[in-house]
Structure 1
Amino acid sequence: MNHPVLAGIDGSACSSAAAAWAAREAELRGVRLRLVHASPPLPGSAVPVTAVDRLHHMGERMLRPEVADLIGRHPDLEVWGEQADDAPAAALLAAACRAGLLVIGTRGAGGFDGLAVGSVALRMAAAAPCPVVLVPQRAVDSFGAERLGTGGAAQVVLGFDAHHPVSEAADFAFSAAEARGAPLRVVQAWAFPAESVSAETLVVTEEDRATWEDQEVLQLSDALRAWQEKYPQVTVRTDVMLLQPAEALLATSRGADLLVVGRRTDPQAAEGRLGPVTHAVLHHSRCPVAVVPHTD
């Protein structure tokens, strides 16, 4: 927990909200906050020195008030800002290797109206070596950067699959709920067994449905026992829902402080890839979403 919280800054309202969220998280963790602004050189083989200097000057003008504002609101928090000469995605991936958490807005300054999640945010969610929290534009529009994530009655929501658990995501969610003094709602989606729905089986009886649901509830309870023992102060509510996973998570995370999902890494891919559930959640969530990588 000594690694700093990292936030990407590009001058957009969404990145400012992400920095504000990151500052509160760094304060909860008792670690430093590191703001990174990428000022890559202009394309071309011979970039004038004056152009590079101008880009760095613009970056400094962006970083300085952001750092001062966060220190003013969090006087006990150590905040520092820095510029990188790489493209934003490359700069953040490199910095994330030395961070405990990366926080980024889902839509940057280069986005267009109607864009939910930008390319940099998607790449961070899929490839960053540390957990990534993506702050959506919808959250900024609904709550404003100042109030985002400050609701005392809110909760942390964890998307969980007891059949294939991502332990890092569970640990992240329990820890986040404990730090906030918030309840944790664990959501598991389920479906009827494939063999129960066929041309020969036109009706699923209530007895069968109840039996399958009881099995899911029991398996979820067993899977969560270790974390409930590790975090006894966290109040846990479990929901086993007969819905598509993304639909279940989006429905239960309305008004939440944070939605936590796991990300499994494809060992055959050069970079991680987001699954369809995480992809859908990032595009439609109204609260910040933490994507936590699973390490085998």
Structure 2
Amino acid sequence: MEPVILARTGTSAPTRAATAWAADEARLRGVLLRVPDDPLRVPGTPSVIVCGVSREEDALSGSGSPWAMLVGAAHCPVVLVPDGLATSRHRTGVTLGVDARAPSDASLGLAFQSARLRGVRLHAVHAWALPAGAADRPFGVPESDRAAWEDHEVQLLCDALRPWCEKFPDVHVLADVRLFRPAEALLHCSERAELVVVPRDSGTTAWEVAARVLLRRATCAVAVVPS
């Protein structure tokens, strides 16, 4: 199996948080932990690349940011560990952001694998919005219409999760459909998560925006997974 890679970080607090997280991940996977000078030039494809992020630093914005370049160039998941990482026995879940209309197999695979390795529940969150123009109806949206739309979204999410539930039958999955923007949905659902997984290049930037919001406000690791 490929090693877990720890990227060098610039300040002490993110370094400590990222090092501890990477060591735990390597132990769970039963692989080596490596700390190369350039994580993008390691032979093969690492299991994950782990790096620490300061709360003052928006890790995914600005083309000159080293972590923006790392996330954009990596061919494997990049786990961003905030310096405000909180660990607790109450943080026992993995939360996954899913675009049920264009599900990312790579992010689904990492989320299911991470939940199985940790022996925890996977909380799969699909964010949706009312159809265009629905909010402008003069008498509002009938409850029957909203219920039908939500049922459709639930079915989309179940369809996206089904093959992975069959592949990982030992992972308990909570399928959750939220009438929120992705960032709001994940913030609501990640309070007790020890890891949040979001896709990259999934046809929309909404989940990547959610990752930025999480890094500023959440206290758990955020994995950004290339699709």
Normalising by the smaller structure, the TM-score range is 0.7 to 0.9
CA contact (8 A) 1:132 1:291 kept: yes
Name stretches of at least 5 consecutive residues in structure 1 with no aligned partner.
37-83, 85-90, 108-113, 267-271
**Equivalent in 238, 243, 266 of residue 175 of structure 2:** 238
Equivalent in the alignment of 1:21: 21
Stretch moving more, 6-15 or 217-226: 6-15
Work out the CA distance in 2 between the residues paired with 1:136 and 1:259: 12
- The answer for the alignment partner of 2:184 in structure 1 is 247
- Correspondence for 1:280: 213
The match for 1:123 is: 69
Equivalent-residue separation in structure 2 for 1:154 and 1:23 (angstroms): 18
Shift of 1:279: 2.8
1:262 aligned residue: 199
Contact 1:102 1:133 in 2 (8 A): yes
What is the CA–CA distance in structure 1 between the aligned matches of 2:173 and 2:32, rounded to whole Å? Answer: 29
Aligned AA (1:135)? V
Contact 1:96/1:128, CA 8 A, preserved across alignment? no
Structure 1 position 238, deviation (Å): 1.2
Residues 166-189 of structure 1: CA distance to partner in whole angstroms, max 9, x if unpaired?
A: 111001000000000000000011
Aligned runs of 1:50-199 on 2, under 5 Å?
84=37, 91-95=38-42, 98-107=45-54, 115-118=56-59, 119-139=65-85, 143=86, 148=87, 151=89, 154-198=92-136
Contact 2:198/2:223, CA 8 A, preserved across alignment? yes
Deviations 1:5-26 (A, max 9, x none): 0002345121121111111111
Q: Which amino acid aligns with 2:174?
A: R
Residues 1:31 and 2:34 are matched in the alignment: no
1:3–1:219: structure 2 CA closer, same or farther, 3 Å change rule?
Answer: same
Whether the 8 Å contact between 1:4 and 1:34 is mirrored in structure 2 is: yes
User: Which whole-Å CA distance do the structure 2 matches of 1:246 and 1:204 have between them?
Assistant: 24
Secondary structure of the 1:254 match is coil
Segments of 5+ residues of structure 2 without an aligned counterpart are: 60-64
In 2, Cα distance between the equivalents of 1:101 and 1:8? Answer: 10
1 or 2 for the larger relative contact order (CA 8 Å, sep ≥6)?
2
CA displacement at 1:97 relative to structure 2: 5.5
- Mapped pair 1:4 → 2:3: yes
- Which is higher, the Rg of structure 1 or of structure 2? 1
Percent of matched pairs sharing the same residue: 42
Structure 1 residues 9 and 191, CA gap change in structure 2 (3 angstroms): same
Q: CA deviation at 1:222?
A: 1.3
CA, structure 1 residues 265+233, in 2 after alignment: closer, same or farther (shift >3 Å)?
A: closer
TM-score normalised over the length of structure 2:
0.88
- Structure 2 match to 1:217: 154
Alignment check: 8 A CA contact 1:153 1:182 kept:
no
Q: How many residues align?
A: 219
Q: Does 1:206 align with 2:158?
A: no
- Determine helix, strand or coil for the equivalent of 2:89: coil
Q: What is the RMSD computed on CA atoms of the aligned residues?
A: 2.2
Q: Which amino acid aligns with 2:77?
A: P
Paired residue type of 2:209:
P
